[in-house]
Structure 1
């Protein structure tokens, strides 16, 4: 249950805050709370409260298997109690923290990415209610969005780390980064930015992409003139894939479907390939790539 080696876990606070707001709004339940799983994977800490009247639950460390949330964490699936204090299927080691809030009906749900639980979310009522299909479906929907948000943020951090590691060390003898590979990473990173729901985070990510792209171009050797037949032009594998699809007459949307990319990613690759080839349009780009021996005729 621990985080895989090399995996960069994003700051969970804004992701959890958004998920808890969504839980209250979409389930209609008055209280939501939750927290991230600890690094050792043996429990989680409740760090976010929404709709509570006290701070009795804040900073509570929940062990795997203990209480309602610990049971959901251990089983890796949601768990519901209609009346918390009467529930016999859970341990009651955290009753002292739940009691001041007078919570009764509670659902706890794990947020999982790549088979690993990242956080546990709760939605609760201060009266005994029957959690019907609508409420449970709403919980599942919020959890899926939170899982996607965690996955996107982790992928953003991973790709950003790769892009930044491509920059050469300070010593003059270091090799320059592979501009084609760095362009490809930044194009995909820009595309991922468009899927981030938090506007502030999205704008920061776009700015980081812009700065990293500017830095990479400033450090990379100048591109050779794009003369037909010039062998020095280097295209990334993805740029070649896109041009090959364009060469058979496919639109950007059709290329995206064929390669499993988003249309904006295709546009980024195509624009980058055109820049390297000195082409002003897609037809000219295909022609110059073929002339340079980069595409099958």
Structure 2
């Protein structure tokens, strides 16, 4: 395993933790919670790693192959699958009857967590009586799947950016000084953009730490002491200005109005005692606030 892969794995929280959190949310949405379970999909195979409300251990660790059972169909077809009465369902294979029937499950919904056109996890909700599937359970499960897909997508992007940072810092075939600087600045801006979409506060904290570390590393050596503090939005605006973006381009990237960009830029310039946007960027870099 390379150093970059090691760093990314250390920084990335376990996806099982995010899955477990979503299963708790699903269960909490009902006065009488359904049985919920699921797990990650790797190389096309699902491994059920999380269960909630089960009475046996038969489902935990179960491996589900593509097109087999409800979960396998969800992996392959990339859309929710359900059975009103699992034991008598004729549209699925029954390779996993023993653990399912031993658990007493009858009505089951399987929802894929789709990222980049592939199933990355499967989440199930099941009842111990035969009932028409869909409705509220399907809606809650689908929304949970969408949230988890967004979380995994962000984590994937963070891993990619961490690998880029490691490449810039550790070497390999060393880029030119100009390429190194510009690459650092682009990665810094991308990390800050990810912060605004991160639904998990712990992940947002990790992103903040990476962006700050990159800003300091890019300067090299000791930084002057400063009590100047820029708000997150002020740093966002300056980061894009540093890349040569116009106010209109910054507004588009941050999904705010050009007048709002001007406001944050004026605030940052005032704090940095700068008379122009170029001077503001220069002083922010000298203080380690920007790469």
Q: Distance in 1 between matches of 2:147 and 2:182?
A: 33
Q: 2:260 aligned with 1:260, yes or no?
A: no
Q: Distance in 1 between matches of 2:276 and 2:64?
A: 62
**Alignment gaps of 5+ in structure 1:** 1-5, 223-234, 290-297
What SS class does the counterpart of residue 37 from structure 1 fall into? strand
- Indicate how the Cα distance of structure 1 residues 174 and 159 shifts in structure 2: closer, same or farther if over 3 A, else same: closer
Q: Distance in 1 between matches of 2:98 and 2:280?
A: 72
1:208-227 paired onto structure 2 within 5 Å:
208-218=210-220
Kindly state the Cα deviation for residue 117 of structure 1 after the two structures are TM-superposed.
Answer: 1.2
Give the alignment partner of residue 168 of structure 2, picking from 166, 169, 177: 166
Instruction: Report if aligned partners of 1:163, 1:186 keep a CA contact under 8 Å in 2.
Output: no
Q: Distance in 2 between matches of 1:194 and 1:237?
A: 15
Pick which of 108-117 and 129-138 moved more: 129-138
Q: Distance in 2 between matches of 1:33 and 1:219?
A: 50
What SS class does the counterpart of residue 53 from structure 1 fall into? coil
State the TM-score, normalized to the length of structure 1: 0.71
Instruction: Report if aligned partners of 1:164, 1:212 keep a CA contact under 8 Å in 2.
Output: no
Instruction: Report if aligned partners of 1:181, 1:236 keep a CA contact under 8 Å in 2.
Output: no
Kindly state the Cα deviation for residue 288 of structure 1 after the two structures are TM-superposed.
Answer: 9.0
Give the alignment partner of residue 113 of structure 1, picking from 112, 115, 132: 115
Kindly state the Cα deviation for residue 280 of structure 1 after the two structures are TM-superposed.
Answer: 3.4
Aligned to 1:32: 36
State the TM-score, normalized to the length of structure 2: 0.72
Aligned to 2:20: 17
Q: Distance in 2 between matches of 1:97 and 1:238?
A: 58
Number of equivalenced pairs: 249
Q: 2:48 aligned with 1:46, yes or no?
A: yes
Q: Distance in 2 between matches of 1:162 and 1:191?
A: 16
Kindly state the Cα deviation for residue 239 of structure 1 after the two structures are TM-superposed.
Answer: 3.3
Q: Distance in 1 between matches of 2:84 and 2:241?
A: 53
Q: Distance in 2 between matches of 1:166 and 1:100?
A: 54
What SS class does the counterpart of residue 29 from structure 2 fall into? helix
